[in-house]
Amino acid sequence: MGFFDILKQQAQSALSSGIRQGVSGAAGSAMNAIRNRPQSGGDSVTFTFGSLPMSVEQLKSLPEAVLTKPHYTAALTVLALCRYGDSPQDAVGMLNFLKGPQPLSPYEEGFLRDRLNGKAYKPFSFFDGATPGNNYTPAQPYRITVFAGPYSFQEAGYAKLMICSSGADAPREIKLREKPSGAQWFLWENYLLSDIREPNANDPWA
């Protein structure tokens, strides 16, 4: 069974996502709601997703799809990129939603093909538990942390956030742009897809 077949099996459960905070003392549905909030430490936010969206409709159903914080848009961008290996069309549809009023250009679509052709494992490297040794297979549920640096909000109307990849020595950046009229943040520039360490399955010396 291939890597994407395993992920498809794991994604058969109902789509759920969330943002966690360390809060306790509630029960039943109240406790479930608390568990689905983000864990935030200053400018760092950890998101937890029960499964990965397969279409733009599923992406839009996630709480983060309100896009009212740049961290939300950054996390959802990784989810959209994870779909590329199985369905470039669905991935592009999700990315166009995240791009807001300016969809992907033909150049940007070509860039995705160049960066992800035969290397669809790259976006999975941003999730907890994914390593070159396990061929970038994430732990379940899917957890990803998006954080800001000292210069993340230096440019008015833009945010440059960071996400760590287990296949790279330095965090990767993603740039978001604010649309004030809707109080939303959209994907502006994607710096997430530079090459990373090969998964063991692709390394003849592993």
Residue type, 167: G
pLDDT digits (tens, 9 = 90+) for 105-136: 999 999 999 999 999 999 999 999 999 999 99
pLDDT at residue 15 greater than cutoff 50: no
127-154 core/surface letters (b: 16 or more CB in 10 A; e: else): bbebebeebbbbeebbbbbbbbeeebee
Phi, psi angle pair for 35, to nearest 5°: -65, -20
CB atoms within 10 A of CB 157: 12
Question: In whole angstroms, what is the distance from residue 88 CA to residue 129 CA?
Answer: 25
Reduce the DSSP state of residue 118 to 3 states and report it: coil
Q: How many residues would you count in the chain?
A: 206
pLDDT tens readout for residues 63-86:
999 999 999 999 999 999 999 999
User: Quick check: 19 pLDDT over 90?
Assistant: no
Q: Which helix (H) or strand (E) holds 60?
A: helix 56-60
Angle between helices 70-82 and 88-99 (to 10 degrees): 170
The dihedral formed by the CA atoms of 83, 84, 90 and 95, expressed in degrees to the nearest 10: 90
Rounded to whole angstroms, the Cα distance separating 50 from 30 reads 18
Q: What is the pTM of this model?
A: 0.80
